[in-house]
Amino acid sequence: MNKNIQDESNSIPFQGLGVNSPLGAGGRREDLKFLPISINVTNKKILLIGGGKVATHKGTIMARFVTNVTVIAPEFTDEILKLPYTFIQKEYKKSDLEGFFLVYVCTGDHDLNARIKADSEELGILTSVCDAPLLCDFVSPAIHKAGHVTISVGSNARDVYKSVDIRNQIKELIDNGTIRI
């Protein structure tokens, strides 16, 4: 048998990086692995749960790329309501997740955020949790966008301030003509 083809009887069942996985349950941040990819969201629905400071910040960055976003929260900032999204004023419930391709969990309630991640994992939806890197299926990098070119800087969810600082240095090099795009 080709050595790359696993005998099904010996194969390890797939485990996502979720609340039920070894890393999700008390794993270490330095053991996380993230693959940098650009994900195709054309005609796909994105859900943002929460309408506070962090949701506003995530939503504002996302608006440079997409508009097919639904936001669910009991309360919204004035600023988020200016984004070209669909807003539903309500508390989260599991059925809200149905039909979404990506979910950003940004409520201010740590336990609720983890519960939403458990729900979305049951439905197989890729989910980012703003206050729990160990529960994230994906994280957002620091971005510089220039037309169709996007420069993304990530730190494997280790140090967001470093990602932002390096992105800012790259932006400066672009602005002063050292890097041409």
Ligand X SMILES: C[C@@]1(CC(=O)O)C2=NC(=C\c3[nH]c(c(CCC(=O)O)c3CC(=O)O)Cc3[nH]c(c(CC(=O)O)c3CCC(=O)O)/C=C3\N/C(=C\2)[C@@H](CCC(=O)O)[C@]3(C)CC(=O)O)/[C@H]1CCC(=O)O
DSSP label at 176? T
* Site string (90-129) toward ligand NAD, x via CB under 6 A: -xx-------------xxxx--x-----------------
Q: How far is CA 44 from the centre of its chain?
A: 15
Q: Where are the beta strands (DSSP E) in the chain?
A: 46-49, 69-73, 86-89, 102-105, 126-129, 142-146, 149-153
Q: What share of the chain is helix, strand, coil (3-state, %, to 5)?
A: 30, 15, 50
- Amino acid identity, residue 65? F
* Site string (31-70) toward ligand X, x via CB under 6 A: --------------------------xx--x---------
Give the one entry of ligand NAD, ligand X, none that residue 73 binds, where binding means its C-beta sits below a cut-off of 5 to 8 angstroms depending on kind.
Answer: ligand NAD
Residue 22 corresponds to which tokens in the numbers above? 């070894």
Options 29, 44, 53, 82; binder of ligand NAD; rule CB under 6 A: 53
Name the segment binding ligand X (CB under 6 A); options: 14-22, 68-76, 92-100, 148-156. 148-156
**Residue 43, CA distances (Å) to 40, 77, 88 in order:** 9, 26, 20
Give the one entry of ligand NAD, ligand X, none that residue 72 binds, where binding means its C-beta sits below a cut-off of 5 to 8 angstroms depending on kind.
Answer: ligand NAD
Options 21, 108, 131, 151; binder of ligand X; rule CB under 6 A: 131
Residues 122, 125, 129, 134, Cα dihedral to 10°: 70
- Site of interaction with ligand X (CB under 6 A): 57-58, 61, 128, 130-131, 133, 136, 139-143, 154-157, 160, 163-164
- Site of interaction with ligand NAD (CB under 6 A): 49-55, 72-75, 91-92, 106-109, 112, 130-131
